[in-house]
Structure 1
Amino acid sequence: MILYIAEKPSLGRALAEVLPKPHQKGDGFIRVGNGDVVSWCIGHLLEQAQPDAYDPAFKQWRLEHLPIIPREWKLEAKPKTRSQLTVLKKLLKQANDIVHVGDPDREGQLLVDEVISFCGVSAARREKVQRCLISDLNPAAVRKALAALRPNRDFVPLSVSALARSRADWLYGINMSRLCTIQGQKMGYQGVLSVGRVQTPLLGLVVRRDQDIGSFTVKPYYEVQALLQTDDGERFKAKWQPSDACQPWQDEEGRVLSRALAENVIKRIQGQSGRVVGAERKQRRQAPPLPYNLSTLQIDAARRFGLSAKQVLDVCQTLYERHKLITYPRSDCRYLPEDHYHQAAAVTGALAQTCPELAPAVAEAKLSLRSKAWNDKKVEAHHAIIPTARAMDGGKLSGAEQNVYQLIARQYLVQFYPPWEYADKQLDVDIAGGRFIARSRQQMKQGWKALFAQPGKKEDEDPELQPTLPTLAVGDALLCLEGELLDKLTQPPKHFTDATLLAAMTNIARYVTDGELKKILRDTDGLGTEATRAGIIELLFNRGFLKREGKQIRATEAGTKLIASLPESATTPDMTARWEAVLDAISRKQAGYQDFMAELEASLPVLISQVDPAAFRGLEGGGKPKNFRKRKPRKTAASAGAKAKMR
């Protein structure tokens, strides 16, 4: 028989649906008409063993045990899903052939691979395992995936990369979390002070943002605008551009801090003639935005509907698994396979039925257009999140499901709209030796922007852009009717929100301090992965390190002191960015597992020695769980922390 192992029951049921009938449902599997069997994992059935599996002494949290570094790694069954692992072990012994149907990503590859290996499947049989990549649970897409099986060995580097990530997270998280928790308890803190290669730099971003806001000093600065008039009586405004001679009165961002300087400029230009020294008009075209990956979807849903990253992910899983209205949601890709282009009519027809609000936009779409989204070279294990060709009554969806589906549907639909066309115009003017600039933007063709226009609401644009400017040429004369002094104040950075924190995680190069690393990461890796970011943010709230104040996300006292206790390398994105770069290289066979792990093991003693216990002062009595009863601090840490997620 052929044994198909899916990542989760919903995927297993979708797979069985296209296989021969009749079906016989068993406990944890489905036997199909030709005798083949579909079974499944329930996410990870296995997890890295806890420290006391290596040495019973490690059950107690003691400083002298650190660092804990396993010489031979162990996996153990998760207690809640142990019975399903037993089912798979029995089926694997009976199977002649095995098809791996994990989700099409790094974690999906590892979690089925590790079950196959853990259950004792021989190397010869593992060599014959086939890989099925399914990103759409509708029958036609599943049949297509089954017809395109690939050797599972082709994906070994992806699995090795995930394994390296899992073990490295264990090493770093277990050791640093035990250390900080023990030191915190010495100061009277009752909770777990967990540390992870993603959660801690993320917390560090929030802590530093809060500190920057708290220490920010508001300073006045000044701008000058000239009201100009042409010979034909047309009027417009132009902004003064300070010259190099003004630098002593400017801050690092070029803002003029001297009111006297700005007032002097006004006196010099008032009633003076001016001359156009530069006139430029450029016609531009902007292609439609690419379809969503998970992070860009979460950011937009947070901005428009106030949904948290976890809420968006949960909604997406429902739309994918239960309703089968969207493709695989945990995708980091924004491109589509070229052969998917031919499904456009079916997909747009389905989304028009599911989301009647978009039916007029579907009618206006030109399916003959082909945006840059269809590009096989940009698609690897999975593609962008788009609607499927399945339709249903959208009224049966919850409000959040309707909102998220509509975002995904609109982002797909704009691929069949023409570019947005506009003209940018700039006039450079000389007045009494000073340089002034006026800019405008005029829309020529709305194109794909029509799908995002909201009645009565203007788009967010540069406030310095004017609707129109007169048609002038170099040398044309002008008259400065008056100068206007604009009193302004510097603004502190804003507290993070769900949207901006996710944006920071996906554009982490902005926060990386290493110049070379910033250059490498600018357009590639982020902090965490599409599949883990929502969980990491929620973990920081659950640990009591972050709190919400309205839409703002701020660090708590415990979160702030934890960051203060750690070396800078543990609290900035640089280290985890390097990890992700190496893990990606491992998945592409451009780096080695052994070298990566050896470097981490060598760095642990140094990191441990750099933690400052004194930073935890002031946390006495904090971190108490609900229904807290007095107990010994060490026991509290062990029981609460043994199951801590360390990423």
Structure 2
Amino acid sequence: MILYIAEKPSLGRAIAAVLAKPQHKEAGCIRLANGDVVSWCIGHLLQQAEPEDYNPDYKRWQMAPLPIVPDKWLLKVRKSAEQQLNVLKRLLRQADQIVHAGDPDREGQLLVDEVLAYCGVSAAKLADTQRLLINDLNPPAVSRALKQLQPNKHFAALSTSALARSRADWLYGLNMTRAYTLQGQKAGYQGVLSVGRVQTPVLGLVVKRDQQIADFCSATYYQVRAELHTTEPASSEQQAFHALWQPSSACVRWQDEEGRVLSKALAEKVQQKISGQPASVTTVQQQDGKQAPPLPYNLSALQIDAAKRYGLSAQQVLDSCQQLYERHKLITYPRSDCRYLPPEQRKLSAKVCAAIGANDHSLADGVTRADMTLVSKAWNEAKVLAHHAIIPTEKQLPLTKLSLTEQRLYRLIARQYLAQFYPVYRYRDHSVELNIAGGAFIAKARTEQSAGWKQLFRGPAEDSMAPDSKGAAPEAGDDAAALNSRLPALVVGQPLTCTAATVLEKQTRPPAAFTDASLLAAMTGISRFVKDDKIRSILRDTDGLGTEATRAGIIELLFKRGYLTRQGKQIHATATGKALVAALPEQAVLPDMTARWEAALNAICQRQQSYQAFMQPLQAELTQLIAAAANNVPVGLPPQPKRPWRGKKAATKPAGRGNRRKKAADLDSRVTKRN
């Protein structure tokens, strides 16, 4: 008997749908006509044991035994999963061969592997276990995956990495949360002060940004914009454009550190000096550029774009994508951290594009104009590991059957995929330097040569925004005054006339408060916030804080904890969040530590580092952090209202606090379980 073990019932049903029929449904499994069986987990059937499972004394939160570090790690069965685990135990004893069908990521790998180990599967069976990787729940895709089974042992490093992450998060989160909660009680705070290696640096980012905004002092600065004509104003052939003053080194004492002129008198003097004066062209430059289509989405990129366009939270995007994947089967595996596609997937591109056109009439014309012979940089086997980018499937289902959020997300994913079959966007940048009364000025313009893939993103207002991509737009910000829609044909030495000049008064602006989109971007672009130069260089092209599957949960957890609050689209830290960050050592707040973790965990996946080489330094560092916590009582924590008198129930108040701690720990565990 072959036993297929899926991560979830929905995946199990998708596997069974393409296997031998007739089939018989039993409790927790589906028995096939040939005697094989498809069963499943229900997410994690097992969880890390509680501290009191190692020592009953650990049930009481005390500083003395911290840090708690198990000598031998224990797993316990989730109460809600006991029945399903018993089903798997029985089937594993009967099975001649096992097919591991967990989700195609490191957590999905561990989830089934730990069940096999816990149930005592023999070494011989483990050696023969096969791995089934499914990114698409539609029958044709599942059938193709079943023909591409791989030895499960090839994925052992992935499982080891997830195991190291799980245990490290348990060690760090449990010990640091207990330590700072106990210290918070000394300050009169009765709530849980939750600390985590991902959630706390994310909170630290928001606290730091809020402080930067609070400390910001706006300053006025000035620019001078010259209006120019190519001929005398009376000529019917004159062509007008504008240029921006470039202050010389003689103006340094009137500038700030970023080169902005702070003296209005100086700007007005330049204005007066150049008005009505002749000008000449000193330099003319033209440079052709091109921009490749944006890569297909991974989850974070999709969450960021959906937040910008529709104001959707990360959790809303993840939840709706799960529906599109599991219920509607319209997209591939949504928790992907990859933005590339295997070349073999191109064989299905015509069917996928046909499905897009049938499902979404607004993209039908885009499908018609797609050139299926084009091969974008997205097709890169070397950059595809367990799973590929999120793309539409071959299934046809009118979008009218979906919720509005599901429709919007499908359209984003579909259009990003279609862009792979469009040519590059081509443009030409023009830059002209001028001399006006001895002063240097510059004029710029960008003209489109070929719309390429960008034509896909020009339509109704809510869908017309092209995805962010390096080089996607001409310069903006303080250089905006130098930009023209187009420039006349100019040559070096050509005489011009400055017909007028304007002093532009501007204000320096504080950094923008975080939003869902920018906070997600900060979590994925961790290197920008890493303090250590060496770590920054290592992590510039790697994953950021958390994983694709957990970032949404981490942000939501911080709101549930009362550490973050929303003001419209803006995200700010609460007084509790600020006080917690202030109490923690810098290494717990900066993303450097979790960045090192992610680098090490990735190295374990690549078989470049061992489990012990990761865990031993962590335990030593944790001991130091707990010692520091014991000498630090948080200040500035807001007072909590007293619980109302409830007669005899008041006697249970201490137990209630313990129960709140337990619920808090459970919530942290659920959020970090798939990290």
Instruction: Please classify the TM superposition score into its range, dividing by the shorter chain length.
Output: over 0.9
Match of 1:574 in 2: 592
AA of the residue aligned to 2:627: S
Equivalent residue of 2:547, what SS?
coil
Counterparts of 1:7-156 in structure 2 under 5 Å?
7-156=7-156
Judge which range, 197-206 or 230-239, deviates more: 230-239
Counterparts of 1:556-575 in structure 2 under 5 Å?
556-575=574-593
Residue 380 in 1 paired to residue 368 in 2?
A: no
Counterparts of 1:260-409 in structure 2 under 5 Å?
260-409=265-414
Residue 225 in 1 paired to residue 225 in 2?
A: yes
* Ranges in structure 2 where 5+ consecutive residues have no aligned partner: 232-236, 467-472
Match of 1:438 in 2: 443
The offset of 1:188, in angstroms, is 2.4
Residue 547 in 1 paired to residue 565 in 2?
A: yes
Q: Distance in 1 between matches of 2:124 and 2:50?
A: 31
Judge which range, 205-214 or 609-618, deviates more: 609-618
Q: Deviations over 1:524-563 (max 9, x none)?
A: 2211111110111111111111111111111111111110
The offset of 1:252, in angstroms, is 2.4
* Ranges in structure 1 where 5+ consecutive residues have no aligned partner: none
- Which residue of the other structure, out of 615, 628, 634, is the alignment partner of 2:634? 615
Match of 2:662 in 1: 639
- 8 A contact 2:29–2:39 mirrored in 1: yes
The offset of 1:223, in angstroms, is 0.9
- 8 A contact 2:338–2:389 mirrored in 1: yes
The offset of 1:205, in angstroms, is 0.5
Change (3 A) 1:617 1:210: closer
Q: TM-score, normalised by structure 2?
A: 0.93
Equivalent residue of 1:631, what SS?
helix
AA of the residue aligned to 1:586: I
AA of the residue aligned to 1:477: P
Change (3 A) 1:111 1:455: closer
Q: Distance in 2 between matches of 1:304 and 1:638?
A: 38
Change (3 A) 1:131 1:180: same
AA of the residue aligned to 2:246: Q
**Number of residue-to-residue matches in the alignment:** 646
Q: Distance in 1 between matches of 2:207 and 2:436?
A: 47
Match of 1:256 in 2: 261
Match of 1:503 in 2: 521
Q: Distance in 1 between matches of 2:90 and 2:445?
A: 71
Match of 1:526 in 2: 544
- 8 A contact 2:183–2:634 mirrored in 1: no
> Please, what is the CA RMSD of the aligned residues?
1.9
Q: Distance in 1 between matches of 2:637 and 2:200?
A: 20
Q: Deviations over 1:489-527 (max 9, x none)?
A: 111111111111111111111111111211121222211
- 8 A contact 2:525–2:540 mirrored in 1: yes
- 8 A contact 1:191–1:636 mirrored in 2: no
AA of the residue aligned to 1:588: Q
Residue 240 in 1 paired to residue 245 in 2?
A: yes
Match of 1:157 in 2: 157
- 8 A contact 2:177–2:193 mirrored in 1: yes
Match of 1:517 in 2: 535
Counterparts of 1:208-223 in structure 2 under 5 Å?
208-223=208-223
Q: Distance in 1 between matches of 2:153 and 2:38?
A: 21
AA of the residue aligned to 2:111: L
Change (3 A) 1:351 1:235: same
Match of 2:194 in 1: 194
Of all paired residues, the percent bearing the same amino acid is 57
Match of 2:419 in 1: 414
Q: Distance in 1 between matches of 2:637 and 2:405?
A: 41
Q: Deviations over 1:330-376 (max 9, x none)?
A: 00111111011121111111111111221121112121222111111
Q: Deviations over 1:558-593 (max 9, x none)?
A: 111110110111111111111101100110011111
Change (3 A) 1:389 1:624: farther
Q: Distance in 2 between matches of 1:235 and 1:642?
A: 67
- 8 A contact 1:281–1:425 mirrored in 2: yes
Q: TM-score, normalised by structure 1?
A: 0.97
The offset of 1:250, in angstroms, is 2.0
The offset of 1:377, in angstroms, is 1.3
- Which residue of the other structure, out of 429, 451, 454, is the alignment partner of 1:449? 454
Q: Distance in 2 between matches of 1:288 and 1:642?
A: 44
Q: Distance in 2 between matches of 1:254 and 1:124?
A: 70
Judge which range, 13-22 or 349-358, deviates more: 349-358
Q: Distance in 1 between matches of 2:389 and 2:549?
A: 14
The offset of 1:117, in angstroms, is 0.3
Q: Deviations over 1:129-169 (max 9, x none)?
A: 11111101111111111111111111011111111100100
Q: Deviations over 1:222-274 (max 9, x none)?
A: 11111122235222111112223323322222211222222232233233322
AA of the residue aligned to 1:305: Y
Change (3 A) 1:359 1:542: same
Match of 2:234 in 1: none
